[in-house]
């Protein structure tokens, strides 16, 4: 269990993320080629590597399988991580074809490495608490209670930045027991009982409804996360990368995203 007095720093984790080669199934997020339909269109035989924000892990597994089915012969491998880690991988020249981040700020900082981005989805934040909400947390102001162990994502992570923007706007001072490299790590701390509460995306909390309780944050106090997608200029599969990025904004992918709780672009 994490000590309240100790804060985890993300710098070593970021360095490791840059230096380690891309895994074929980072976070269990790869999908092999589907059986396909002969009516599918798009470049045949392409193998795309998509770098995607951690909060897209579950929904992109479904979306990837749907794209493969509609485009026989195309295979997609996903690498999921915090958006700041993905940006570091792109700058280091990691081989990839498409990038999807959880904020426009990170994507805008990679303008020299990407094509024109387009927002494919939006998300909002919630408070995830221990199952049954034992501390009876009702809103952001309750997180200032020193008896409540709160975990946040690190400031350089989009969800961590959104979290601090909301807390600052409400003049809520929180000393997190740890600062995590992505939203999944924040949620994991709450699931394991190593923290009493954490700020995460609504879609992530919904996937763990059997392990955590969710406290909604009013819209006027909330932050809206935007997810831009763009092709990478270094892609060796430019046609297929463009097809996948365009598909993410189309009706089939949008229905999958809506079904997972993401909001329309």
| pLDDT computed for residue 253 by the predictor | 98
Percent of the chain residues past pLDDT 90, beyond the cut = 83
- Report how far residue 162's alpha carbon sits from residue 158's, in angstroms, rounded to the nearest whole number: 6
CA distance 131 to 41: 46
Please report which confidence band the pLDDT of residue 136 belongs to, taking 50, 70 and 90 as the band edges. very high
Identify any residues that bridge with 216 across adjacent strands, giving them in sequence order.
Answer: 126
Please report which confidence band the pLDDT of residue 45 belongs to, taking 50, 70 and 90 as the band edges: confident
pLDDT in tens, 235-248: 999 999 999 999 99
pLDDT value for 44 = 62
pTM given for the model = 0.82
Two tokens, residue 118: 């387009």
Nearest to 151 by CA among 180, 192, 181, 182: 180
First-to-last CA distance in the chain? 39
SS3 (DSSP) at 151: strand
Domains and CATH numbers, the chain: 11-122+226-259 (3.40.190.10), 123-224 (3.40.190.10)
What's the mean pLDDT in 126-131?
97
Residue 23 confidence (pLDDT): 37
Residue 100: phi and psi, rounded to 5, are: -130, 115
Look at residue 160 and give its three-state secondary structure.
helix
Query: Mean pLDDT over residues 71-92, rounded?
Result: 96
């Amino acid at each position: 269990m994490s000590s309240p007095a100790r804060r985890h720093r993300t710098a070593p984790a970021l360095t490791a993320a840059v230096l380690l080669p891309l895994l074929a199934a980072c976070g269990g997020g790869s999908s092999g080629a589907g059986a396909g339909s002969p009516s599918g269109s798009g470049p045949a035989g392409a193998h795309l590597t998509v770098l995607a924000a951690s909060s897209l892990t579950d929904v992109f597994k479904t979306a990837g399988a749907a794209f493969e089915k509609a485009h026989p012969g195309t295979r997609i491998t996903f690498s999921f991580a915090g958006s700041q880690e993905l940006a570091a991988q792109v700058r280091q020249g990691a081989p990839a074809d498409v990038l999807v981040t959880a904020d426009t700020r990170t994507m805008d900082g990679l303008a020299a490495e990407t094509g024109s981005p387009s927002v494919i989805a939006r998300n909002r934040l919630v408070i995830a608490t221990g199952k049954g909400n034992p501390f009876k947390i009702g809103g952001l102001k309750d997180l200032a209670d020193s008896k409540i162990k709160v975990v946040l994502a690190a400031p350089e992570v989009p969800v961590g930045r959104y979290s601090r923007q909301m807390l600052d706007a409400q003049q809520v001072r929180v000393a997190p027991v740890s600062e995590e490299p992505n939203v999944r790590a924040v949620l994991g701390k709450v699931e394991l009982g190593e923290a009493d509460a954490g700020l995460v995306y609504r879609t992530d909390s919904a996937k763990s409804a059997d392990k955590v309780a969710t406290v909604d944050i009013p819209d006027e106090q909330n932050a809206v996360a935007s997810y831009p997608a763009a092709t990478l200029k270094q892609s060796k599969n430019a046609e297929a990368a463009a097809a996948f990025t365009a598909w993410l904004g189309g009706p089939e992918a949008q229905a999958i995203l809506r079904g997972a709780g993401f909001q329309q672009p």
